[in-house]
Amino acid sequence: MQLITHPMDNYQAQSHELAEWLQSIQNAQTTDSLWNALSQTLQMVLGCKKTAVYLKNLTTATVTCPYANGLTDHMRDVFAETMRSYAAVNPDLVFSPVVVSDVHQIPDEQLIKRTLIEEMIDAYMLIFFTTFDSWGMVALLGDNATLFSPNEVNTGQAIVELAVANLKNQQMQQKLAAARVRELRRNEITQTLNQAFDLPTILQSICRIATELIYADGGVLGLVVDNQIMIFYPYNVPAKMNLRPAMRGRGVAWQIVESAQPVLLTDYGTHPQAQIKWVKNDIKAFLGVPIIGNDECLGAICLFDTSPERQFTREEMDLIESVGRQAGMAIQNSRMLAEVEQRASALANSLSRQEELDKLKNQFIHAVSHELRTPLGIIYGHAELLESGDLGELTLVQQNSVQIVLRRIRMLTDMVEDLTALMAAETQEFRRDFINPLQLVYSMLAEYRMQAEDLDLTLQAELAESLPWLHGDLTHLRRVFDNLFSNAFKYTPAGGSVTLRMFVEGEKIIIEVADTGEGIEAQHLPRIFERFYQVTDEQYRPRRKGTGLGLALVKEIVEAHRGEVYVESELGVGTTFRIELPGHVNPEGEGVTKGQLV
């Protein structure tokens, strides 16, 4: 039985069908199903059997045709050409639809006319739209029955808008998913960098992550070595591409390094520095960014793709540039770490060598000073005997010689004494007695008063009324004063003064020996307490006679008494040595006061 439909039934059926088609546009999950639904709906509503969709990328201006239904290849290309010929447009501006109801009206000079007539297309309409990254066009081709009335144009536009809303939605979802993947990959990079891998592993991982980040086919990370050569860390690069280190100036990667600028190519082969090998391996889309660390270009990350439709976008370029910066930091850090490690091990080596040398030196000094004491004593005794005349009268010349011998022996003996004291201070061979500090300085002042007068120096003392006791070795402490006084006398010209101050600060006894002498240049101050260190003139001669052991001995002795020694000096003004020693309470004696000694 045949069903006769009432016109109203027919209308209802049609609107029901339309609603279903519109819904299929809204619900399409992929772009393919979307274009399909759009084409079917337009066919149903406007009666056009032939539909094509074109997209023009806003960044690269490339035109693609993701969907075509019923068009010959030639026809499809003709409209692609039409799309291409439209200048790049402002994405906010969408053209009004182009409606050609009768192609015979098209001027003859327009090439499109012939093709349309040949393919028996009588009318067509172009509807434009924009998405996030493209400008789009839907071409609807009709036959002589198609009128494209204003109503139909409006309806067509509304249907396309519905499809574009879905398209944008899909793009949004993709962007969100891509952003999520990017975030994951970024975290992966940070993690890779934080794990203390060796540099090659880090670089290899960065290259892999960068490639995966933008779904490229493969990539290489080039690292500049010694300024002249670039070595490569590849990811997913066919073995036949045979990556060898590249000399400066050869290849796109070197161009990126030299210009420190990214390179984005739709067809790698068109670049003047393109490598034959790469072109032969069908490299098409290419994206290269510099690796920057500390304002220096350390290499490049180059990603590629071989599929003809694939284009890298500016957004992807920005992303990979940020990976380039991370890689730069990683390279810098790893180089710094390597340098620090190298220095640390060199330092450790030299320290242990230094320690070994110090030990040997001490052993040597110990042995020499002990071995010299006895023979020096004997030589001294005999020289004195000679000088006394007991062994027979000496001529004037002989007397002079003996004087020189005696003077030199005394110098040597002093040195051996200093060395022995130094060893004793170091090995803590010390007595621990309670010493009255005022008694000690009075006796020292008495000893040096005559010498001061001879040298025309004022020797003065500023002493606190009462002081705690010192605890230590009197002989060694006397040496401290001996050295400080003899230095002050040595380096202070006639007419100057030497002041000894002794006072209390907290629990410490402070002893200062200040002179108005020639002073010490600041550059020497940190070293004057070193053994054998002497301030020398331009010819590297010491300014006065000495061994360079005096202050080293002072420091050793003071430190062995748990004290500290400081120096302050100004060239041409004078020098002050300050000694801080712990004050003690003598369990048997009373406190020390000046009155007791006067």
Measure the CA–CA gap between 167 and 37, rounded to whole angstroms. 12
Q: Please, what is the minimum distance in Å from the beta carbon of residue 407 to ligand ADP?
A: 16
Residue 576 contacts ligand ADP per CB under 6 A: no
CB of 553 to ligand ADP, least distance (A): 8
Query: In which residue are the tokens 């960044």 written?
Result: 59
Shortest spacing between CB 528 and ligand ADP, in angstroms: 4
Neighbours of 442 (CB within 10 A): 16
254 or 491: whose CB is closer to ligand ADP?
Answer: 491
Contact (Cβ atoms closer than 8 angstroms) between residue 97 and residue 140: no
* Closest distance to ligand ADP from the beta carbon of 532 (Å): 8
Q: Which of residues 548-567 bind ligand ADP (CB under 6 A)?
A: 548-552
CB-nearer residue toward ligand ADP: 146 or 492: 492
C-alpha closest to that of 330 among 449, 203, 436: 203
- Gap between the Cα atoms of 75 and 113, Å rounded: 11
Minimum gap (Å) between residue 545 Cβ and ligand ADP: 8
Of 341 and 358, CB closest to ligand ADP: 358
CB of 535 to ligand ADP, least distance (A): 3
Phi then psi for 227, rounded to 5 degrees?
70, -10
Q: Smallest distance from the beta carbon of 543 to ligand ADP, in angstroms?
A: 6
Between 507 and 530, name the residue whose CB sits nearer to ligand ADP: 530
Q: Kindly state the smallest distance separating residue 357's Cβ from ligand ADP, in Å.
A: 20
Which residues from 30-69 bind ligand ADP, rule CB under 6 A? Answer: none
CA distance 439 to 592: 9
Residues paired with 63 in a beta bridge: 56
Q: How many Cβ atoms sit within 10 Å of the Cβ of residue 492? A: 22
When the beta carbons of 328 and 496 are compared against ligand ADP, the nearer one is 496
Residues 207-226, interacting with ligand ADP (CB under 6 A): none
What does the alpha-carbon distance between residue 518 and residue 530 come to, in Å, rounded to a whole number? 20
* For ligand ADP, the closer CB: 186 or 524: 524
Report how far Cα 283 is from the mean position of its chain's Cα atoms: 35
Please state the φ and ψ torsions of residue 91, each to the nearest 5 degrees: -60, -20
Rounded Cα–Cα distance for residues 141 and 124 (Å): 4
Q: Among positive and negative, which fits the CA dihedral 195, 197, 199, 205?
A: negative
Of 491, 494, 505, 457, the closest CA to residue 570 belongs to: 491
Binding string, 454-493, against ligand ADP, x = CB under 6 A?
-----------------------------x---xx--x--
Q: Binding-site residue total for ligand ADP (CB under 6 A)?
A: 22
CB closer to ligand ADP out of 52 and 549: 549
Nearest residue (CB) to ligand ADP, 517 versus 583: 517
Q: In this complex, which beta carbon is closest to ligand ADP, that of residue 320 or of residue 551?
A: 551
* Measured CA distances, 116 to 48, 71, 110, 138, 548 (Å): 15, 11, 11, 16, 108
**What's the CA gap between 532 and 512, in Å, rounded?**
23
Distance of closest approach, residue 536 Cβ to ligand ADP, in angstroms: 8
Nearer to ligand ADP, 235 or 491 (CB): 491
Whole-angstrom distance, CA of residue 481 vs CA of residue 503? 16
Smallest gap from Cβ 343 to ligand ADP, in A, equals 31
CB 424 within 8 A of CB 557: no
Alpha-carbon span 329 to 325, nearest angstrom:
6
CA–CA gap between residue 578 and residue 501 (Å, rounded) = 9
| Token digits of residue 195 | 């794990």
Site for ligand ADP in 491-550 (CB under 6 A): 491, 515, 517-518, 520, 528, 533-535, 542-543, 546-550
The Cβ of residue 81 has, within 10 Å, a number of other Cβ atoms equal to 12
Q: Which is nearer to ligand ADP, 159 or 484 (CB)?
A: 484
Is the CB of 390 or the CB of 537 nearer to ligand ADP? 537
Which helix (H) or strand (E) element contains residue 177? helix 150-194
Q: What is the DSSP letter of 2?
A: P
- Whether 469 and 437 have beta carbons less than 8 Å apart is answered as yes
CB of 508 to ligand ADP, least distance (A): 22
Rounded distance between C-alpha atoms, residue 376 and residue 416, angstroms? 9
Of residues 241 and 415, the one with the C-beta less far from ligand ADP: 415
The CB-of-464 to ligand ADP minimum distance in angstroms stands at: 23
Least distance (Å) from ligand ADP to the CB of residue 411? 11
Give the residue at shortest CB distance from ligand ADP.
Answer: 546
For residues 119-155, one letter each, b for 16 or more C-beta atoms within 10 angstroms of the residue's C-beta and e for the rest, the string is eebbbbbbbbbbeebbbbbbbbbbeeebebeeebbeb
Q: Which residues bind ligand ADP (CB under 6 A)?
A: 483, 487-488, 491, 515, 517-518, 520, 528, 533-535, 542-543, 546-552, 575
